[in-house]
Amino acid sequence: MAIEQTLAMIKPDATARDLTGKILARIEEEGFKIVAMKRLRLSKLQAEAFYAVHRERPFFGDLTEFMSSGPIVAICMEREEAIVKWREVMGATNPENAAEGTLRKLYALDVEKNSCHGSDAPETAAVEKAFFFSGIEML
């Protein structure tokens, strides 16, 4: 099976509660190799650009406020079937629906402040990786 890359984020609710180390440890325990990583605070405009596909959704304003409210950690990482596997490890978007042991079940505060992000398809992974990292940073 081919190695695939995905883009993960540790969201502001999780960096604020000092969960960065726990989430990074889980990433490695689940067999992902970290390829590139940076911690930064998104501006509102940058958060709006990242979540542009959700522009028409009712939660877009709140979501981009939240995502620009504190530091995030962006991670490009790889393993076999990385995209689907990372979404499994994160669990459902709403922690109320997330399976036992998933990151969102463990750490999310609510459907918005749900601690982590993961790309949902190869096409979005490519766009999201390029949003944070240049080609030479992802070798």
Q: Which residues bind ligand IDP (CB under 6 A)?
A: 54, 59, 63, 93, 111-112, 114, 117, 120
Among ligand IDP, Mg ion, none, residue 69 binds (CB under 5-8 Å by kind) = none
Which listed residue (26, 87, 113, 117) is catalytic?
A: 117
Among Mg ion, ligand IDP, none, residue 124 binds (CB under 5-8 Å by kind) = none
Query: 90 φ, ψ to 5°?
Result: -70, -40
Instruction: Name which of 25 and 121 has its Cβ closer to Mg ion.
Output: 121
Provide the residue type at 138 as one letter.
M
Min dist. Cβ of residue 139 to Mg ion (A): 26
Among ligand IDP, Mg ion, none, residue 63 binds (CB under 5-8 Å by kind) = ligand IDP
The answer to whether residue 117 is catalytic is yes
Min dist. Cβ of residue 136 to ligand IDP (A): 28
Q: Do 11 and 54 contact (CB within 8 A), yes or no?
A: no
Q: Which residue has the tokens 């995209």?
A: 83
Min dist. Cβ of residue 22 to ligand IDP (A): 19
Angle at 30 between CA 76 and CA 46, to 5 degrees: 30
Instruction: Name which of 112 and 120 has its Cβ closer to Mg ion.
Output: 120
Binding stretches for Mg ion (CB under 5 A): 120
List the catalytic residues. 117
